[in-house]
Amino acid sequence: MTPALKQIAAGVVALISLTLPAHADDGQDDLGNWLIWNGTLNYSEKWSMFTEAQLRLWEVASNPNEWFVRAAGQYNLTKRTLFALGYMHSRVDPFEDAAPRTKENRIYQQFTAKHAWSRPILEHRLRTEQRWIETSGQGTDFRNRFRYRLQATVPVSRDQMGPQTHFMNFYDEIFLNYGSRSETFDQNRLYGAYGYQFTKHNNLQLGLLWQRRSSSRDFYRLQIFYTHNFDL
C-alpha cells in the first residue's frame, strides 16, 4: 500500500473513532444503521435492471423505522455513461407514538458518468426525482428534488479494481428541492467506507455516513452495503 493510500485508510479509521464518542451524548437517535443490498441484472451490453432494498435502523441494532425498495431500467449510452429511469417506494414507521407515519412513491431519472483519474475511479451521478409523500392524517404532498453525487473508488491492494481487491469508497451528495414551497436545501451526505471485491459480481462495504438535514441537525449512520450483480 502506498503512503497516500495508508493516509486515506488512517483518515477513515480516525473519522469513525473520533466521531462516534463525540456525539454519543447528543441523543440516541444520532447514530443509526443502514443495511443495504443492491444488484444489477445485465440483459445485454446496453440494457440492465437495477434493484435495491434497504432497512434503516434509528439506532445501531434496534428501532427499525424505514423500509426502502427501488428498481430501475438502465441503458448504457457508452461504456462510461448510463441513463436510468426508476421507481422507489419507502415506508417510515417511527417508534415514537405521536410521530406520523409516512409513505413515499418516487419516480426518478438518472445520468451517471465514470472516468479514471490516476488510480481512483470517479463517478458523477445526477438525479431528478418526483416525490409523492403521504403523511398519516395530513394527506399527500408532491415535491421535486435534484441530487448530485461525486464518488471516488480507490483500489488499495491492487492497481486496478478486480476480483479479490480491497478498496476505499468515498462520496459527497447534495440534495436540493425545486419547484415547490419547500426550502431549497434538503440535505447533504458525506460517506467513507472500506470494501472488498470478492469476484467481478459482488462486493461488501462497511462505512460511515454523515448526514446534514435542512433542520441543521447532524445524523451519523453506519452502513453495511452488499452488492451482487448478475449476467444473463
pLDDT digits (tens, 9 = 90+) for 23-70: 444 444 479 999 999 999 999 999 999 999 999 999 998 889 999 999
| 159-164: average pLDDT | 94
Beta bridge partners of 205: 195, 225
Containing domain of residue 78, as a range? 3-231
Residues 6+ apart with CB under 8 A from 56: 32, 33, 34, 35, 64, 65, 66, 67, 68, 221
Q: Residue 85's pLDDT band (boundaries 50, 70, 90)?
A: very high
Q: Judge whether residue 19 has pLDDT over 70.
A: no
Contact 50, 86 (CB under 8 A): yes
Cell output for 215: 433542520
Query: Which of 22-26, 65-69, 151-155, 224-228 is predicted with the least confidence, judged by mean pLDDT?
Result: 22-26
Q: Which three cell numbers stand for residue 144?
A: 421535486
* Paired sense of beta strands 230-231 and 31-42, if any: parallel
Model-level pTM? 0.87
CATH of residue 117's domain is 2.40.160
Task: Find, among 103, 112, 98, 94, the residue nearest to 56 by Cα.
Answer: 94
The per-residue pLDDT for range 176-195, each reduced to its tens digit, is 999 876 789 999 999 999 99
Mean pLDDT of 194-214: 96
Domain tally for the chain?
1
Centroid of chain to Cα 15 = 18
